[in-house]
Structure 1
């Protein structure tokens, strides 16, 4: 079952080639997907699933839209 995943800012280069239809297995969580993309938990500041801030242990479902954001600095 596919999800859509978008990685932003410094994580953009980790987005998979099939980001618009990234395959996941039943029961996979956001953290499982991050591990598959070689994104460490410490690199992630916030995750949205279907537009809602979600924890890393959030279970994913078919068609979910996931946005992954790193901590952003600047001023």
Structure 2
């Protein structure tokens, strides 16, 4: 059985926290985005916007494998 994996893309200040295997990141099917962040030692407070397959989602969204997950931190600008 092949491991289940996602594509994880972290943006802006989170980029430096991305694991080396972010393009094929193994996950446990059914894991929530929040649980995934905990496993990666990324504080969930830093996940301001979460997109799964291009659709805005929440920390409670479950992942099953094959998803493209993008996470943006809060961004200040002007």
1:44 Cα offset (Å): 1.4
Q: Name structure 2 gaps, 5 residues minimum.
A: none
Q: 2:46 corresponds to which residue?
A: 43
Q: 2:12 corresponds to which residue?
A: 9
TM-score by length of structure 1 reads 0.95
1:28 to 19, 26, 31: 31
TM-score by length of structure 2 reads 0.91
The separation in 2 between residues aligned to 1:37 and 1:14, in whole angstroms, is: 8
Paired residue total: 75
Q: Name structure 1 gaps, 5 residues minimum.
A: none
